[in-house]
Chain A
Amino acid sequence: MGATVTTANTEEKTWGGGNEPLGASYGKLMMWFFIVSDALTFSGFLGAYGFSRFKFIETWPLPDEVFTHFPFMHGVSAPMYYVALMTFILIFSSVTMVLAVDAGHHMNRSKVAFYMFLTIIGGLIFVGSQAWEWKNFIHGEYGAIETKGGSLLQFVDNTGKRVKLEDFAVVLPEEREQLERNKGKWFMSEPALPTYSVAEVQAGFKAHPEILVRTEVIYKDDKATKADATIDHTLSKPKHKTVLTRAESEKRLANAHLVVEGANLVRNEYGSKLFADFFFFITGFHGFHVFSGVVINIIIFFNVLLGTYDKRRTYEMVEKVGLYWHFVDLVWVFVFTVFYLV
């Protein structure tokens, strides 16, 4: 067919090298490659969290009740404030990073160094804050009971306020020794024992008639729920956890199997077991990114001080770590929404 016309510009040497269709250097493109793949990894994690949450939509823990701590404010329920503070710290360290990149475009070494330094400090404060958040999460506050079927029972008083196990559990004259390796018949041991035994919680519950059991189930404002005689309808509020009547509480507590204090990868006092797993995994993976970002920033910071990029006559390296650092901030924006807001 004679109609075939070659429209390619044969004058230009397309394959002769030096052609940059994306107008970006190799290193920067590779950083974008990495960011795309890492973004998909995090999407996978957050998607899996959404999957599990949808799977247990009626019993999933309420983040407002889990993350309520603020430094130097003991016993004050301050949901969200602390993560909001962490978010601001990370956004601000992103700003100092982009200011460093901007100063790099002007080849202003001292300014780049100063802003890189602030970025590193911001990153360290963020990682430290996360460690503190983990400490509170692992330590727990109220304690709970796990039943034989694996569901979780928490305790409230007759005003609906959460009650700690230590506030009502009695101390029974029983002895329960932790099984350690040197006392085992074979390679047997067990993790630390909870402060109270199931029998002590049950006895304490009997001695305090005002205490009620709160289940994991989120109370709904529909007819079927309203007709349920096992629920204390004055204390249960829509979109909050269901509080049971005293009679039903006793019945449920009779099935108690384990005392749960704080959180680990197997069980946690907040509710669904998967909740703690996802919390540790996603915030841990993000925290690891922040940590490695800080390490990379420190390396680049020293290179800036040594004048490496002045010799190269380009501060593009600062731009590349900047991309990574902003990406870490970007991920946090999503983690913040998915874990703490919705």
Chain B
Amino acid sequence: MSHEHASNTKRIWFVFGLLSVVTTVEVILGITKPAALHDNLLLGMNLLNWIFYILTIFKAYYIVWAFMHMEGETPGLRWSVVATVVFLVIYLLFILLIEGDYIFEVFKDSTIKWNF
């Protein structure tokens, strides 16, 4: 156990500030929806959504590392938790989203009409 019992309060408040700023940025972008970001696609998703997802993962990193104190755990524990979740989630999303898009195209291009 590597808990050196020094007070972490300074870091905690720093992370809180960081998460608040990121959330504020997200909300401002979500309300204004700048056209330059909203209308330009990168790999099938618009830039605004890319920013949202990247900021979300940025926030998740700080919550897990600072608040859940992952940074103080052994590398073995860190990897078994993070690598498992990250791998399985990417796999799951890959399957589900591609399949969803495929079904959309079936509805759109074939004779099946669902909405009339």
Interface residues of A (CB under 8 A from B): 21-24, 29, 32, 35-36, 39-40, 43-44, 47-48, 50-59, 64, 79-81, 84, 87-88, 91-92, 94-95, 97-99, 101-102, 105-106, 147, 149-151, 216, 238-239, 319, 322-323, 326-327, 329-330, 333-334, 336-337, 340-342
Contact = CB atoms under 8 A, between A and B. Distances in A.
Interface residues on B, range: 35 or more
B41 interface: no
B60 A333 contact: yes
Interface string B24-44: 101100110000001100000
Contact of A36 (B56, B81, B92): B81
A93 B24 CA distance: 17
B68 A327 contact: yes
A98 B49 CA distance: 30
Contact of B85 (A39, A81, A87): A39
Nearest to A238: B39
Contact of A54 (B15, B64, B97): B97
Contact of A51 (B1, B56, B68, B97): B97
B1 to A, nearest CB: 6
15 contacts: A23-B1, A50-B100, A58-B104, A81-B27, A88-B23, A95-B15, A150-B114, A151-B116, A327-B68, A329-B67, A330-B60, A330-B63, A340-B30, A341-B26, A341-B49
B88 A43 contact: yes
A333 B59 contact: yes
Nearest to A40: B88
B8 to A, nearest CB: 5
A52 B92 contact: no
Contacts of A336: 56
A21 B20 CA distance: 36
Contact of A50 (B2, B20, B81, B97): B97
Given A50-B97, A91-B20, 11 more contacts: A50-B96, A54-B100, A54-B101, A54-B104, A55-B100, A80-B31, A88-B20, A98-B66, A106-B5, A151-B115, A326-B63
Given A21-B74, A326-B68, A43 B92 contact: yes
A42 to B, nearest CB: 10
A113 to B, nearest CB: 17
Nearest to B98: A54
Given A55-B103, A91-B16, A84 B27 contact: yes
Contacts of A57: 101, 104
B16 A92 contact: yes
A64 B32 CA distance: 11
B9 interface: yes
Contacts of B81: 32, 35-36
Contacts of B108: 58
B76 A87 contact: no
A326 B114 CA distance: 42
Contacts of A21: 74, 76
A341 B31 CA distance: 9
A341 B104 contact: no
Nearest to B23: A87
